[in-house]
Structure 1
Amino acid sequence: MTPNAPARLLALASDGDRRSAPVREYPVAEASPSPALDRIAALAARIFGAPMAGVTLGDPDRARLIASHGLADTAEAFRLPGLPVLGGPRPEAFMVTDALTDPRTADHPLVRGGLGVRFYAAAPIVTAGGQRLGTVSVLDTRPRHPGRDRLDALRDLAALAMEELELRLSAVRTVAAERARRADAERLARTLQRTLLPPTLPSVPGLRSAAAYHTASPDEVGGDFYDLFPLENGRWGLFIGDVCGKGADAAALTSLTRYTLRAAAIYDPDPCAVLANLDAVLKGEQQDGGPRHCTALFGVLEPAPGDAFTVTLAGGGHPPALAVRADGTVEPISTIGGQLIGLLPEPRFVRTTTRLAPGESLLLYTDGLVEARTPDGDMLGQERLAQHLAAAGASSADRLLHTVSGLLGSLGPGVGDDTALLALSVPVPPASSLQENR
């Protein structure tokens, strides 16, 4: 036994509370098996030519076996207080050459019990700050008198065990920090996204409206947007679009685009003129010398005879709106030919007009919807979307939105991009109103 061996081999003594704190910092040691620590135990047994070895962590009243060699059937024995844990104030490697004859260990359960330990050597696992976590220990059922060089080797193995614990703890902390970062990013993204969209849609007399935003990535701000706002003479402006990029740059571009569309509509509400004004503004806003572009639909709603609405739309590279007619058919309101906004020298914008009668609805959406992948791997596309809407018979804005949201949910991981939705519908007036109008 070395001169600095502890006076007794008992469970953690009066200084146990002081030592329990650093032990608790290493839950990773128990979270999952560690092949590296098992190899350390196997190497310790090989160096001593002993049948058993283990790596333990200590707490105030017991030792926990976290890696072992030759101890698969006796792991529970290491939960007994005493032998596997170093006592005493100083963390020194030591040996008990014959535990049965040593008065300090002769009555220990691991010595008197079925395991019959006669030889025990241990080296402390010590942090850089000098705090003891546990041991790398070797056990045999016969007395042993190994040389000092083997005890030195055991001390080196304990240092390797400490390095492994530090690596595993560092990995856990890195994962935790990344999770916290992602959580913060998600909260920031959600907050920023909310500032880019109207908190509520205004109430339009004789019209129902509903909107939704489906995010593909919770920690990344998308560039999809929509709005519905009043114009002069009982008319209403509406738009939906998608700017290039993601993150903070897309958020800045989205804010600029929404503000410009609203301001341009006040100056001249003609839909093509509004998109032309937006095109000029985006071309004046360069980011690192690159273009800033978007797709958009801009429209003007105007009350029409028969409780209907006239909808005039202009498109710039955006998917066409879909009208669900009173008979259940779905009709694309084509703006095909309209080109990207802010990218081309002289872009072309396409204008079209449709009528929404009572019992009819209109869906405006961004391309994340039609570019989503179905379970068979194909894109959903406009045709399949129209078939889905026709089968659902979505005649109201709320029902239309519910139908599309359910479709997006059913596609799951097939939805790879954000999707903005804006739905409008003209309700069927009560029967009494119909009779009064005759």
Structure 2
Amino acid sequence: MAVCEYGPRRGASSATKDEQRRLDAVRRYAVLDTPADPVFDKIASLAARVFAAPMAMVAIVDSDRVWCKAAYGLGDVGEFPRAAGAWSLAVAHDGPRVLVDTRADAGPVAGLLVPGQLDVRFCAAAAITTPDGHQLGTVTVFDTCPRRPADDQLAALQELAALAMDELELRLAALHTVAAERERRADAERLARTLQRTLLPPTLPTVPGLDTAAAYHPASLDEIGGDFYDLFPLDDGRWAFFVGDVCGKGADAAALTSLTRYTLRAAAIYDPDPRTALANLDTVLKGEFQGDFQRFCTAVFGVLDAGADGSFTVTLAGGGHPPALAVRADGTVEPVSTAGGQLIGLLPEPQFVQASTLLAPGDALLLYTDGLIEARTANGHMLGEEGLARHLSAHTPRGADHLLATVHKLFTDLGTGVSDDTALLALSVPPRRTPQLAQETR
């Protein structure tokens, strides 16, 4: 762990030349003042989840400002003046930069970390470094209380910074080949649609006593996404399901998605315990992609157990995935939280968190990937988990099909604010047929 401290400085002339070369690299990657991007939004949100921290940022350091490519939990942060201490030190240091407690630090970093009046007490920053050694900015997490991060958290933060750099490299290469890509766009669209269909079940099976519905909302017609879902029977009469999202897009993401779906199905046959299924997937991914830290995913795996009264007990385990939402018969919306569950295929010994809920007659459960909650509203803010819950509460969806129709209406309202693929799975228990309802339906 590298705690923030101040070492010897190079000569002014050398430092000035190095800074100019670094700024040239920033310009070369053409990232400043570009629109919001779901990949970098996801990196920021994943960084926050790894640390269980309330705030995170992907920032690029310009000559006189810090420009925020993505922010999580920081509100409408666009850019702010470059502080002489904090960000200069962050981009001129090898390895993670950590401030355990800003109030205990008397150096120039303390108090200069984020704009506004946020009472930041802790931060950890990993540099986004080009292949030729220039540090463009940082992936940084913040907290309002002092803390000492674990080594695996800092390692994951460095990998997320490397992932940000890899994404910038990919986009730079794309700029050089855009003319050829335009010529192949029509063929690419057809190929992507065909391949995408092979990664999802063509139809959902019929579950006795349960209504089910699923949907896939692609953000692009010519790019293969990595979001997935499935629902299938277990040998003991129960049913298993999962929803998840692999890192990246394109052919590599498609291959990882296929492996993930197959592995989870096979794991459920071997041992349907939700946490065990995710642990088996984690083992397979790390064995298949040794040393490749871009091959990871988030997922929630669940088991349905029907009760004699028509209800279903749902047991879920989550690995870095947004919480499922239980929509009760009275219209209230409750998160089924698996907070603390960590990314699958990335950390040495990840933890997976389990939760249970009861779906009584009239209740429904919505599972989704983070393209939905990371969509941006008209004011430019991300929808978020609370925004999704408010939307569902306001529309009181009834049944799985109606629930997905309500979410589809939300996608329509968000319009161009939706910039990442989303997979949806809805499960609902039909309401009990009272004598009056039975009479009305005759």
Question: Mapping of 1:6-405 within 5 angstroms?
Answer: 181-286=184-289, 289-405=292-408
Q: Residue 302 of structure 2: SS of its match in structure 1?
A: strand
Match of 1:88 in 2: none
Letter in 2 for 1:353: S
- Of the structure 1 ranges 421-430 and 197-206, higher mean CA displacement relative to structure 2 is found in 421-430
SS at match of 2:189: helix
SS in structure 1 at match of 2:387: helix
Q: Distance in 2 between matches of 1:269 and 1:289?
A: 28
* Deviations, residues 20-74 of structure 1 (Å, cap 9, x unaligned): xxxxxxxxxxxxxxxxxxxxxxxxxxxxxxxxxxxxxxxxxxxxxxxxxxxxxxx
> Aligned to 2:277, what secondary structure does the other structure show?
helix
Alpha-carbon spacing, 1:286–1:375, altered in 2? closer, same or farther (3 Å): same
8 A contact 2:371–2:418 mirrored in 1: yes
Distance in 1, matches of 2:366 and 2:325, equals 5
The 8 Å contact of residues 243 and 253 in structure 1, kept in 2 or not, is answered as yes
**What SS does the corresponding residue of 1:367 show, helix, strand or coil?**
coil
Return the index of the structure with the highest Cα Rg: 1
Q: Distance in 1 between matches of 2:279 and 2:402?
A: 34
> SS of the residue aligned with 1:343?
coil
Does the 8 Å contact 1:285/1:292 carry over to 2?
no
1:240–1:296 Cα contact (<8 Å) kept? yes
Q: Which amino acid aligns with 2:227?
A: D
AA in 1 matched with 2:275: C
C-alpha displacement at 1:429, in angstroms? Answer: 3.2
Distance 1:234 1:226 in 2: 20
For 1:187, what is the secondary structure of its paired residue?
Answer: helix
In structure 1, give the amino acid aligned to 2:340.
Answer: G
| Secondary structure of residue in 1 paired with 2:243 | strand
1:232 is displaced (CA, Å) by 1.9
Fraction of identical pairs, as percent: 74
**Residue type matched to 1:248 in 2?**
A
State the alpha-carbon separation in 2 of the partners of residues 397 and 289 from structure 1.
38
Q: Is the 8 A contact 1:237 1:265 kept in 2?
A: yes
Question: Residue 369 of structure 1 aligns to a residue in which SS?
Answer: coil
Rounded Cα–Cα distance in structure 2 between residues aligned with 1:217 and 1:207: 32
Does residue 431 of structure 1 match 2:426? no
Please tell me whether the aligned partners of residues 323 and 330 of structure 1 are also in contact (alpha carbons under 8 angstroms). yes
For 1:214 and 1:265, locate their aligned partners in 2 and report how far apart those are by CA, in whole Å. 27
Deviation at residue 432 of structure 1 after TM alignment: 5.2
Provide, for residues 330-372 of structure 1, a one-character-per-residue CA deviation record: whole Å limited to 9, x for no partner.
Answer: 0000100000000001000000110000111000000000000
Counterpart Cα distance in 1 of 2:219 and 2:429: 31
Match of 1:409 in 2: 412
Instruction: Kindly state the Cα deviation for residue 267 of structure 1 after the two structures are TM-superposed.
Output: 0.3
Partners of 1:311 and 1:433 lie apart in 2 by 30
TM-score norm. by structure 2 comes to 0.57
Separation of aligned partners in 2, 1:247 and 1:427? 39
Once residues 342 and 430 of structure 2 are traced to their aligned partners in structure 1, the CA distance between those partners, rounded to angstroms, is 33
Q: Do the aligned partners of 2:243 and 2:301 also contact (CA within 8 Å) in 1?
A: yes
Contact 2:277 2:301 in 1 (8 A): yes
Distance in 2 separating the partners of 1:175 and 1:220: 14
* 1:283 and 1:291 in contact (8 A); partners too: no
Relative to structure 1, is the Cα distance of residues 289 and 357 closer, same or farther in structure 2, using a 3 angstrom cutoff? Answer: closer
Runs of 4+ in 1 over 6 A off after TM superposition: 174-177
TM-score, structure 1 length as denominator?
Answer: 0.58
**By how many angstroms is 1:430 displaced?**
2.5
RMSD: 2.0
Distance 1:287 1:415, change over 3 A: farther
Q: Tell me the alpha carbon deviations over residues 281-325 of structure 1, each in whole angstroms, 9 at most, x when there is no partner.
A: 000112774451100000000101321000000000000000001
Q: Which runs of 5+ in 1 are unaligned?
A: 1-173
Aligned residues: 262
For 2:371 and 2:290, how far apart are their aligned partners in 1? 24
In structure 1, the residue matched to 2:146 is none
Whole-angstrom distance in 2 between the partners of 1:372 and 1:321: 17
AA of the residue aligned to 1:375:
A
